[in-house]
């Protein structure tokens, strides 16, 4: 339990303090063949975190009336502040003003939002597995360490209302924007079996042994699910958001005829992001080849060659979700990761 205090004093009122509960348990087992397996459950829950509330908006009754008759709030009415406030201010420029702004509880301010209402909740649950195995116990074959990690997780949040002025509306409970249910990682370190006292080229001449001895190879492979795709804030008039086959230019149904703007003064009825459509998943491979040259007891030089994004696999962000944008439902043109990068470096250690 993090931050176990119950209340704090805020503007003369007592409010709950954000609290985070963290919990985990796991099992570990060694198997024959040098296999080590760890399986754990890891979770956390945060309550009473900060949520924003718009304090300066029309009442629900006025909003509902404007939904049936938008002119109720769009009409121009006499400006009671004209001639009183400076002409350089918003309310001092014209003898008439928009009725909506004058009906706000605090019309002289350009909006008042309380950012610290203690209503937000977060939850994370995961099952994490890690397998480790060492191969080739004999020095001649070189040592190989292989680690495979997998996580299945879900992350939810309820940290805002779709209409942050409407207290009659429940906070939207949805997947977090960083939710990644599937996470796989494979890494390995291999002392290559070439050169002095190794299985290969150990009997070669001194020049060859000097070149091929004492190298080690590193590999890191990662793959994880894409983040939830944003949900367009518009009325959808077609049957389904799904498409038969996702492509770069059609990640979900992006037919312009399927979308239309919401009527004036209508409450949003869709979440921020889909629960069943995700951005492209991501795969990456990094490799390294390194050798350390000993120079007596005290000094050494390490030569290292590295390759990042070895397979030159592009990673793209989520599709455009603005309903009237020409690129609605299309992935970005530019990739979000670097192309393949190869570098060679040396380091002197003493």
Q: Measured between alpha carbons, how far is 158 from 168 in angstroms, rounded to an integer?
A: 15
Residue 49: CB partners within 8 Å, gap ≥ 6? Answer: 18, 118, 120, 121, 122, 159
Q: What pLDDT score does 302 carry? A: 83
- Answer whether 284's CB lies under 8 Å from 312's CB: no
Q: What pLDDT score does 317 carry? A: 94
- Answer whether 280's CB lies under 8 Å from 247's CB: no
Q: What pLDDT score does 8 carry? A: 47
Long-range CB pairs of 20-24 (<8 Å, 24+ gap) are 20/44, 20/45, 20/46, 21/45, 21/46, 21/47
Residue entry with tokens 């420029």: 93
User: What are the tens digits of pLDDT across the range 134-144?
Assistant: 887 666 677 88
User: What are the tens digits of pLDDT across the range 69-107?
Assistant: 999 999 999 999 999 989 888 888 899 999 999 999 998
Q: What pLDDT score does 314 carry? A: 94
Q: Does pTM surpass 0.75?
A: yes
Helices (H), ranges, the chain: 60-68, 71-74, 99-102, 206-212
Q: Report residues of the chain scoring pLDDT below 50.
A: 8-10
Q: What pLDDT score does 10 carry? A: 45
């Amino acid at each position: 339990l993090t931050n176990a205090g119950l209340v704090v004093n805020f503007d003369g009122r007592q409010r709950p303090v954000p609290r985070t509960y963290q919990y985990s348990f796991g099992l570990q087992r060694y198997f024959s063949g040098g296999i080590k397996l760890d399986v754990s459950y890891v979770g956390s829950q945060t309550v009473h975190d900060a949520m924003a509330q718009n304090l300066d908006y029309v009442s629900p009754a006025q909003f509902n009336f404007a939904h049936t008759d938008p002119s109720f709030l769009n009409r121009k009415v006499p400006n009671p502040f004209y001639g009183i406030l400076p002409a350089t201010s918003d309310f001092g420029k014209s003898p008439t003003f928009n009725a909506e702004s004058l009906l706000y509880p605090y019309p002289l301010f350009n909006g008042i939002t309380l950012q610290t209402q203690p209503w937000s909740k977060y939850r994370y649950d995961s099952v994490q597995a890690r397998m480790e195995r060492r191969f080739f116990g004999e020095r001649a074959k070189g040592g190989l360490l292989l680690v495979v990690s997998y996580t299945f997780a879900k992350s939810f949040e309820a940290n805002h209302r779709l209409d942050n002025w409407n207290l009659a509306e429940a906070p939207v409970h949805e997947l977090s924007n960083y939710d990644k249910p599937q996470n796989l990682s494979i890494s390995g370190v291999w002392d290559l079996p070439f050169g002095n006292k190794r299985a290969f080229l150990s009997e070669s001449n001194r020049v060859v042994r000097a070149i091929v001895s004492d190298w080690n190879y590193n590999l890191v492979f990662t793959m994880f699910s894409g983040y939830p795709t944003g949900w367009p804030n518009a009325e959808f008039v077609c049957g389904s958001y799904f498409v038969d086959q996702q492509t770069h230019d059609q990640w979900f149904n992006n037919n312009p005829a399927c979308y239309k703007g919401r009527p004036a003064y209508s409450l949003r009825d869709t979440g921020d992001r889909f629960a069943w459509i995700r951005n492209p998943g991501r795969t990456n491979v990094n490799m390294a080849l390194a050798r350390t040259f000993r120079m007596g007891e005290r000094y050494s030089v390490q030569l290292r060659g590295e390759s990042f994004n070895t397979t030159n696999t592009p990673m793209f962000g989520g599709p455009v979700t603005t309903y009237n944008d020409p690129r609605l439902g299309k992935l970005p043109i530019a990739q979000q990761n670097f192309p393949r990068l190869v570098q060679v470096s040396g380091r002197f250690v003493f």
